[in-house]
Structure formats: C-alpha cells, structure tokens
Amino acid sequence: MSGGGWTGLILGFGGVLTSGVAECAADFDRRAGLPDGTFLATISEDPVGSGLFAELERGAISQSDWNVRTGALLGMDGTGLLGRVLEGLRPEPSVIAAVERARAAGVRVGVFSNSLGGPYDPFDVYAGYDLPERFDVVLLSGEYGMRKPDPELYGVMLERMGMPGERCVFVDDTARNLPPARDLGLATVLASEPARTIADVEALLGIPLTGEA
C-alpha cells in the first residue's frame, strides 16, 4: 500500500515510459532535410495534418493510410513514415524500474496511451515493452474510438483500473492531457526528465521508487 493514499498509478507511454517524442521528431526533420519543427507543426498545427493525427489516435484510419497522407503533406514518400519518425524512440529504464517497484509495493499500475496503430501495422511502437506483463491495465485510445484529452476516455480508464480518481496518480508528457484527469480527482504529474518525474511520483505515493523492485 502506498503511503500517500494513492493506490493507482496511470502513465502515458511516449515521453513517459520512453525517451522524448519531440526529440525524435526533431531528429527526423534533420534527417529528412526539413526546417526545424516541421513534423510537429504538421501534426499539431496544420488543419489537415492535425486532423489526420487525431484520426490515427482514435483508430479511425490505419497507420498505413496516415503514413501516405501525412507524407504527402510533408512533400515526401510516406512509406513507413511513423517508423522513420520514431526510429530513435527508446525505453526509459529508470521510469520502467520505478513502475515495477510501485507495483511490487501493491500499487495498481496502468498504461494510458493515444494509439499509433496496432501490432499488424508497419510500425508497432509498443513492441518489446511487454506492456501486458508489466502493467495491470493497458488502454490504447483507438480501441475506444477516442483519444486523450477526451474526458470520457479517462472515465473508461478509471473503470478498468477499478478505483476512483481520488486514488490515482496520472503521469503524462503533454500538459493538455492533465486537466481532464484533475477534474476526475486524479493527482497529476507532467513528465519531464526521468529523475524529476520519478521524484514527483515518489512524493505522491509516499514509497521509494528507486533501487531494485
């Protein structure tokens, strides 16, 4: 049992359990000869590009379709685009170890991720992370036709966790994903560099999260 009254820990995937997604995007821009910030601007600010990315996260279009259509916006062949963008994404071992330690202490742990495709798509971003073995709950947004920060999806996550928001800590690397969690009573942590993120979660749970689980 955690010492702070929270018995659930919910984490985003990219930028929390992994290295930074923005860094991958910046590296892709350099490799592709694009102006700095082009890829992220295309999926977050361009009306068409942001709409396509939202559809991918909701599971409304396939990753292959997204690759082709977003590649066209970038003026390039979209074959394997998502895999090319995220080829440098790596597990963040210190955060994964902290999650394992929390689970060993009796905290229920879950992954709450906006989908980037499934195991049969050209690039499986979740491959090698053993999420079903490491976490009590794994929720990928595309399975529900929604995406963070849709408040309804947070309710689904809590139902699957089997506990109220007031018992859970939520960690995400995107600030806009935190308010819907707070509205449901969850304590929130904006992921930053791993040591800081772990310290913030540790302070809330009231249990040590470094060292062997």
CA–chain centroid gap for 54, Å, is 14
Can you give the pTM of this predicted structure? 0.94
pLDDT by residue (tens digit) across 94-116?
999 999 999 999 999 999 999 99
- For residue 91, is pLDDT > 50? yes
At residue 22, what is the residue type? A
Looking at every residue in the chain, the average pLDDT score rounds to 95
pLDDT by residue (tens digit) across 102-157?
999 999 999 999 999 887 899 999 999 999 999 999 999 999 999 999 999 999 99
* Residue 18 per-residue DSSP state: B
pLDDT band for position 19 (50/70/90)? very high
Question: What percentage of residues in the chain have a pLDDT greater than 90?
Answer: 93
Backbone angles phi, psi at 43, to 5 degrees: -90, -10
Report angle CA 136, 147, 51 to the nearest 5 degrees. 150
- Enumerate domains of the chain plus CATH numbers: 8-20+90-205 (3.40.50.1000), 21-85 (no CATH)
